[in-house]
Structures are given as C-alpha cells and as structure tokens.
Amino acid sequence: MSVLFSENARIVLERRYLKKDSHGNPCETPEQMFERVAEAVAFADTIFDSQADVVKTREKFFKMMTSLWFLPNSPTLMNAGRQLGQLAACFVLPIEDSMEAIFDSLKNTAIIQKSGGGTGFSFSRIRPAHDIVQSTSGVSSGPVSFMAVYDAATETVKQGATRQGANMAVLRVDHPDIEAFINAKNDVNRLNNFNLSVALTQSFLEALEKGKNYNLVNPRTGKPTGEISADKIFDMIVSSAWQTGEPGVIFIDRINESNPAAHLGKIEATNPCGEQPLLAYESCTLGSINLSRMVTGQTIDFPRLKAVVHDAVHFLDNVVEINKYPLKIIEEMSKKTRKIGLGIMGFADMLIRMNIAYDSKEAVDQAQKVMSFIQKESRAASATLAKTRGNFLAYINSIFDSPSTPYMRNATTTTIAPTGSISIIAGTSGGIEPLFAVAHVRRILNGQTLFEMHPIFLEMAHKQNFYSDTLKGEIAAKGSIKNFTAIPEEVRRLFKTTHDIKPEWHIKIQAAFQKFTDNAVSKTINFSSSATVEDVRKAFLLADKSGCKGLTIYRDGSRMDQVLCVGNEKSKTEKIIPRPRPKRTSGFTERIKTGCGNLYVTINSDDSGICEVFGKMGKTGGCASSQIESVGRLISLALRSGVTVDSVIKQLIGIRCPSPAWENGKMVHSCHDAIAQVLKNVVGSNFIEKQSAMGVCPKCSGPLAHEEGCLICHSCGYSRCG
C-alpha cells in the first residue's frame, strides 16, 4: 500500500524515522517502516495467546497507520522491530536527598536518554542551599545547582542519541529555594535542556486567594523554615513566565486527586512537556488519533473513531509488553500500572472541516464531546483486554478496584501529548493547538524557499475563486489572514492562527480536553508581544479555576527581551543591554561574489534568534577587510540588543561602491549590500523574522514555534522535546 505523504512529511521520515545504511542513507520506505512497526507490535499477541491470529492483527495495525488514522509516539516508529527496541517516550526518575542517590539518578538519566527517552524529575526532596550537610560538616548547594549538572549531562549524551534529550524539573512551591528556581532560566544561556514547572499546592493557592503567607518547608527535616507571601511568589512566577515563558505550573494536588494507583506513592513530577504525570520509575507509551481523518462531510464519524480507539488501545498495550526498557526497575514499575496515553492530533483541522471556529463555544462543546467519547471507549477497550490478559498488576486498591469496574488492563488510557513530528507525517495540525500559520515558508536544501499553504484553505480558495500566487506569497509573509479583506469573512473566521486567538479561548479548549483526559494536556497558551504581566496572571488563575492540571505560556518575542529590573515597571533611565553571546552558537557560512572578491558571510544563531554576523574577504588585509569586520561587529551588537533583522537589512541593502558584481543574475552593489542579501535570503520574509524571536531551528534554521509545551519547527519537523 502506497501512502500519499506531503513532501515535508517525507523529509521528516527520511531524516528521523527510516532505517539507514552504513552511509546514513535510508534503506526502507515509509511503507516498510509501518510494516516493521505493525509486525513487531502485533507479535505481542502471542505472549497472551499462542494461537492468536498475528497476521490479522498486523494488517489491522498496518491499515490504521498507513491510513494516517493513528500514529504511535516517535520512539515506537523509530525502534519497533529494531535492535534498540526502546519504545516509550517519557519517564520519571526519583531524586532523593543524598549525593549517592542524586548521581545514581543521573546515571539512569543518561541510560534513558541514550535510548531516546525524555526524563522528568522533582528536585523537591533535595535540601535547600546553605543547609547543613552533617557527613562533611559543609553546606548544601541546593537543587538548582544539581539541575545544572543534569543539564550538562544531557548536553553530552544527546550528541550520540537517536532523539534529543529533554528534561522536566519540578520544584514544590513550598521549597525554601523556590525563588532561585523560578528565576533559574531568566538567563537564557542556562538550563537549555530543561523545562521548568513549579508544583503549586492547594494550601498555596488558598493562601494566594486570601492574600496570606504560607510556610516554606525544609525537605530534610520536614519542618517549616519560615513564612513568605503567596502573592510575592506568584508575582515572581508570573513575571518570569511573562519574560521568558518559564516556569510553567502544575497543580500537584489536583494531579494526585486523580492518581489511579495512589497506594504505590504520590506523583511528584511529569515528563518533559508536562502532559504525563508519573510515579517514580514509571514510563508511559503514547499515541495519537488523527481527528481530521475522523470527519465525514461535516460530522464526526463515531463508528470509525470507536474502531480506531479500540485498535489503538490494543496496539499501545502490546507496546507495553514488547518494549525493551532501559532499566529493569522501570520495566517492573511500568508493568505494574501499564499506563498508556491515547491522545489526538488534528483538532484544529477537524473544526475547520466541521465549519466551526476554534474560539467558539461550539469548539469547546466538540472538544468535550470527542474526548469524552475517546475516554469512554478507551476504557471499554482496556476492560475488554483485561478479560483475557488480566488487570494491571496494581489494580487491587487502585481507583478502579470496585464491583462496578471488575476489569481494567491499564491504569490510565488517555493523554494529550505533543505531536510535532507525527502530525507532520499525518499531514494535519498539531495536537489540540490552533493553526500555526495558514501558509509558511520552507527552506529546501539548495537554499531556495517554497511557500506551503494549508491544504484545506487551498481547496477553499480555489473553490471560492479567491486564490492567486500573489496571495499565497502575501499570506506566507504574514502567517495570519485576519486582515486580508479579499478573503471571505467566513473563511477568515475558520482559519484563525495561534496569535489571532485570545488566551482565554486557548485555556477553555485545554480545560475542555482535560475534563475527559486521565493524565494531562500538553498545550502552550500563546500571548501577543503586547500582553501585560496582569494578562499572564489572569491566565494562570483561570487555568486553576477551569480544572487544568498545569499551564505553559509563551509571550511572542519574549526571549528577545532583556531582564533589566525587578518588578513590573521599567525605569525611564534604563539603557538597552545586548544579551551576551553564548559559548556555542549554530549557523553557516555563505560565499557571495563582490567587486572586491569573494566575501564569506557567517550567520550564527542562539536560542533567541540570529545573534551575530561577520564577514571575511577571500583576500585578507586592507581597508575593506577592516570595514567588513567593523560592520559585522555592529550588526551583531544590534541583533543581540533586539533590533530586527529586517531593520538591519533595510539599512544595508543597496549601498553602492565603485566595483559592483553579479551573483546568480542579481547585482551585488557592495560588500555591505552582499551581507544584506545573505541576511535577506536567510530571513525569507517578515513573518519568518517575527517568528525567529522564538528561536531558530538547529536543523534547518527555520523559525521555532512554541506549541504543545515544546519548541517545534514546522519547516522540518524538529522538536526540542524529541
């Protein structure tokens, strides 16, 4: 069976998923990859029934994936049927308050990340900085210092891993070092392999509501070390999130209220994107249903959806069984609870096909309707499996242990996880996020750019006779179509993008899905660059009141802002301070012909965008070389001070000297003009420059988007979270 993939999907598959030969070239087709995965996962049936019809199961799984109705998480696609065989995406490891335990967990982290998994930790058990260490008569350095050690280890391990390592650090709001934790990533050069979440307790939230103080507790002694204002700490969280997008929050007591196996312990941490709360040493197997393929006409095809849910639960339970776990203790714990996380992608596309705007009550109603159906049917499918395979080992004393639920194979069945890469493979919108853009620019290997337009929009544009090649380029330059009056209002209503939608609607959609999700929901609440600190504060409070289990926000362009003062107001006497150049940047060097000879222009980027530009003539020395060096230094200083690349290009483009040259049919007026032309080719459009404030993709230099609690590149499928 041949699957019709988009060009971008095939690039993602070839780069990340398909088996490669000794020269690094793909040695299987996408269809062969699906055959490999289907056969490996179907084989698990024989573990429970030696007479099982494995061929029938394999064909069922193969059809489900090749029809792009359901795709498992990336490790399963990459590793099923291969030697590594590690199929789980997310893990949580404990960190106890001793040097031995801290470094035991660090060793285990390296083993997990080498196998392609992401790791979450609570650092809340580590004694605070300056606390006594009796064994050495010294003092503790505190949890944040150990986070830096874990970050450095991840940076080293990921160089040889199949997927980039990612971590989640959680600290309870009542830990004495909470202020240092909240501010830990305000320096954008620190902890770049970590997401941060503050675990907000119910007692803290009650103190916040009443404007009272709450206790800070030393985890070593279990005794209060003093009181602090809940308002002060919450303002710090909000201000830091407004500034950099970190930390997020998790509502830890709410998470534990729905802990299905509370008798095994309390949940203290989540996986890197926050959607999977796990006990110590648990892992979880994830997969997502493509809702855009579950629509017939303008209605959800519930019979098809039901069949896919049951087949997907069967698939994921088989994955739990055949997975080659990185540690024996993780295998034992994972099989005690057999947690699976069936989620969705393509929700925004589903709404468009159903003629429903994302920011509407109808969308909220559909979110609840479709997710309640998936949850009900996934539990029914799990119960059916339990009748022949047995309940999960920790079923006794779990929340399911009752006469009304005598069978349950999996302690959890639903999770809304990030789908950055697999949604590109499926050709649909990511997770439950709105559209990233109606059209965007994609760079291809020879340096050219392609405009890619949303397929449903393209179909409507042709059908309603408002399509043109000019319009395609103009939309790609903006991303959003909200101000395109030539496009019918009804179409603009349906195709709203992330920044067209008010934050409260983002939260309403997240809360609607959370209501019928066992685990949690991965989503980013996007704010415009003009959003205030108070806007962010309201969002965190609304998430709590709406029943969310956590919240991640990102204010557009916020990582370009320099932290210059304490508090919400900036002094009128502040001066712009360029952000420091990190130790390591990523970039490229391009050769361009000028009248003075070949000019080699190097452009480097950090997590906040392009940070330095410099040039070197083929012939060294002379006045031209010194001028080029000076211009490069000034450009770099401007870019690290928040000046847009477009502004730099505007100042340099067209500057003439007595010796112009021709390059690829275009005149290069001077060395300064050459630098501007290289920058212009990199930026591509105003829209790309706007998005580059979120960071530049390390794989293709495209813009990174903050979605699903992660950094995702829509150009090549890169995901910082794996």
- Per-residue pLDDT at 686: 37
Contact assessment for residue 128 and residue 176, using Cβ atoms and an 8 Å cutoff: yes
Q: At what angle do helices 645-652 and 671-683 cross, to 10 degrees?
A: 150
Cα angle for residues 563, 119, 521 (degrees, 5° grid): 75
Confidence of residue 722 (pLDDT cuts 50, 70, 90): low
Is residue 303's pLDDT more than 80? yes
Is residue 332's pLDDT more than 70? yes
Query: How many other β-carbons are positioned within 10 Å of the β-carbon of residue 34?
Result: 22
Is residue 692's pLDDT more than 60? no
Place of tokens 């776990």: 325
pLDDT-above-70 percentage for the chain: 90
Is residue 702's pLDDT more than 80? no
Of 373, 395, 426, at which residue does a domain stop? 426
Mean pLDDT, rounded, for 445-453: 62
Of 426, 452, 483, at which residue does a domain stop? 426
Mean pLDDT, rounded, for 579-606: 84
Is residue 688's pLDDT more than 50? no
Place of tokens 């031995």: 100
- Per-residue pLDDT at 691: 39
**Distance of alpha carbon 311 from the chain centroid:** 26
Query: How many other β-carbons are positioned within 10 Å of the β-carbon of residue 572?
Result: 5
Structural domain includes residue 617: yes
Contact assessment for residue 260 and residue 400, using Cβ atoms and an 8 Å cutoff: yes
Query: How many other β-carbons are positioned within 10 Å of the β-carbon of residue 240?
Result: 22
Please indicate whether residue 275 is annotated as part of the active site: yes
Cis? peptide before 488, omega within 30° of 0 = no
Ranges of H-type helices in 129-190: 143-157, 178-182
560 vs 607: CA distance, rounded Å = 9
711 vs 386: CA distance, rounded Å = 37
Structural domain includes residue 194: no
Please indicate whether residue 273 is annotated as part of the active site: yes
Residues contacting 615, CB < 8 A, separation 6+: 599, 600, 601, 602, 628, 629, 631, 632, 671, 674, 675
**Distance of alpha carbon 90 from the chain centroid:** 13
The helix (run of H) or strand (run of E) holding residue 528 is none
254 vs 259: CA distance, rounded Å = 9
What would the pLDDT profile of 405-420 be if each residue is shown by its tens digit? 999 999 999 999 999 8
Name all contacts of 229-235 with Cβ < 8 Å and 24+ positions apart: 230/204, 233/173, 233/178, 233/179, 233/182, 233/204, 234/208, 234/537, 234/540, 235/537, 235/568
Q: Which phi and psi (to 5°) does residue 42 adopt?
A: -65, -30
Find the CATH number of the domain harbouring 60.
3.20.70.20
Structural domain includes residue 146: no
Q: Which phi and psi (to 5°) does residue 93 adopt?
A: -115, 145
For the chain, give the mean pLDDT.
89
Structural domain includes residue 684: yes
Is residue 204's pLDDT more than 90? yes
Is residue 567's pLDDT more than 60? no
Is residue 422's pLDDT more than 60? yes
Six token digits for residue 142: 């505190």
What would the pLDDT profile of 124-178 be if each residue is shown by its tens digit? 999 999 998 877 768 899 999 999 999 999 988 875 555 566 899 999 999 999 9
Half-sphere exposure of 110 (CA within 13 A, CB side): 14
Please indicate whether residue 332 is annotated as part of the active site: no
- Per-residue pLDDT at 1: 65
Six token digits for residue 696: 């530049």
pLDDT-above-90 percentage for the chain: 65
Place of tokens 């799990």: 382
Contact assessment for residue 334 and residue 328, using Cβ atoms and an 8 Å cutoff: no
With b for 16 or more beta-carbon neighbours within 10 A and e for fewer, the 42-79 pattern comes to bbbbeeeeeeeeeeebbebbbebbbebbbbbbbbbbbb
Six token digits for residue 620: 């060294």
Return the higher-pLDDT residue of 101 and 558.
101
Structural domain includes residue 521: no
Residue 645, burial from CB neighbour count under 10 angstroms (0-12, 13-18, 19+): buried
Structural domain includes residue 495: no
Structural domain includes residue 604: yes
Closest alpha carbon to 550 in 93, 185, 189, 241: 241
- Per-residue pLDDT at 718: 73
Is residue 189's pLDDT more than 60? yes
Closest alpha carbon to 126 in 106, 153, 146: 146
Six token digits for residue 215: 């206790």
**Could you tell me the residue range of the domain that residue 630 belongs to?**
586-692
Confidence of residue 350 (pLDDT cuts 50, 70, 90): very high
Contact assessment for residue 413 and residue 342, using Cβ atoms and an 8 Å cutoff: yes
With b for 16 or more beta-carbon neighbours within 10 A and e for fewer, the 90-106 pattern comes to bbbbbbebeeeebeebb
Six token digits for residue 154: 């991840």
What one-letter code names the amino acid at 686? N
Closest alpha carbon to 323 in 92, 615, 675, 40: 40
Q: Say which of 167, 183, 273, 590 is annotated catalytic.
A: 273
Structural domain includes residue 319: yes
- Per-residue pLDDT at 74: 93
Return the higher-pLDDT residue of 565 and 122.
122
Place of tokens 């395109």: 484
- Per-residue pLDDT at 694: 45
What would the pLDDT profile of 492-536 be if each residue is shown by its tens digit? 999 999 999 999 999 999 999 999 999 999 999 999 888 999 999
Contact assessment for residue 468 and residue 511, using Cβ atoms and an 8 Å cutoff: no
Contact assessment for residue 275 and residue 415, using Cβ atoms and an 8 Å cutoff: yes
Closest alpha carbon to 86 in 107, 117, 61, 46: 117
Q: Say which of 268, 275, 282, 433 is annotated catalytic.
A: 275
Could you tell me what percentage of the chain is helix, strand and coil, using 3-state DSSP and rounding each to the nearest 5? Answer: 40, 20, 40
- Per-residue pLDDT at 561: 40
Six token digits for residue 438: 């109606």
What one-letter code names the amino acid at 485? T
Domains of the chain: total: 2
- Per-residue pLDDT at 129: 95
What one-letter code names the amino acid at 371? M
Six token digits for residue 260: 């299905």
What would the pLDDT profile of 621-648 be if each residue is shown by its tens digit? 566 778 888 888 899 888 888 788 878 8
238 vs 245: CA distance, rounded Å = 9
What one-letter code names the amino acid at 408? M
Q: Say which of 73, 79, 271, 604 is annotated catalytic.
A: 271
With b for 16 or more beta-carbon neighbours within 10 A and e for fewer, the 197-211 pattern comes to bbbbbeebbebbeee
Is residue 584's pLDDT more than 90? no
Is residue 614's pLDDT more than 50? yes
Six token digits for residue 559: 């990582």
What would the pLDDT profile of 18-29 be if each residue is shown by its tens digit? 999 998 899 999
